Amino acid sequence: MSRLTVHTLDSAPADSRPFVERAIASNGFLPNLIGVLAGAPVALETYLTVSGINARASLSLAEREVVQITAATIHGCEFCVAGHSAIALKKAGFDKTAVIALQNGQPVNDAKLDAVAAFARAVIAQRGAVSDAALREFKTAGYGEQQALEVVLGISLATLCNFANSLAQNSVNPELDAYRPAVLQA
């Protein structure tokens, strides 16, 4: 049970309704995160706008999902871990073993994806002030300054979602339940 209002299309403020409609059309259901963010139309608009911008990054979908799952795991957001695990499995080409590894903060045995996860963890832990060695390791894996900043972009998006879900204490939608760590790893 959320401690903030989880709006429906009918209860959402008028300025949020177009965004809620778009989310329902895109997902086939209304994620509780969207329902909560609908209570602040500018927060919902920011989430959807930044999501669209993040999707245009030079990082691949798989790399972006590594950032999202890593951040959600560190921030303790089960809702986002489940949601991004579903995307990783259904759209980004991950197998179950790799997703479970990400959920547990372990390597996925792909040098580039592991470098993205390690760099994302360093950015979060050091609030951006990563060591020269961490940045060098990321660059050695084949990434540049653009991708380093895109990891920061992904983390900023994740932080909005993770913190909003934590504030609301949102439950995981039934459509995402199978992707929660406790269920996926069972």
How would you write the pLDDT of the chain (186 residues) with one tens digit per residue?
Answer: 789 999 999 999 999 999 999 999 999 999 999 999 999 999 999 999 999 999 999 999 999 999 999 999 999 999 999 999 999 999 999 999 999 999 999 999 999 999 999 999 999 999 999 999 999 999 999 999 999 999 999 999 999 999 999 999 999 999 999 999 999 988
Is residue 23 domain-resident? no
Is residue 119 domain-resident? yes
Give CA torsion, residues 75, 130, 109, 76, to 10 deg. 0
CATH number for the domain spanning 103: value is 1.20.1290.10
Is residue 123 domain-resident? yes
Is residue 21 domain-resident? no
pLDDT per position as a tens digit, 36-78: 999 999 999 999 999 999 999 999 999 999 999 999 999 999 9
Is residue 12 domain-resident? no
Among residues 49, 53, 102, 108, which one has the least CA distance to residue 80?
A: 102
Compute the radius of gyration of the chain from its Cα atoms: 16
* Buried b or exposed e, range 122-157, using 16+ CB within 10 angstroms: bbbeeeeebeeebbebbeebebeeebbebbbbbbeb
Question: Looking at residue 173, what DSSP letter applies?
Answer: P
Average pLDDT, the chain: 97
Is residue 159 domain-resident? yes
Is residue 48 domain-resident? no
Is residue 27 domain-resident? no
Q: Give the residue numbers spanning the domain of 125.
A: 59-184
Q: What's the domain count of the chain?
A: 1
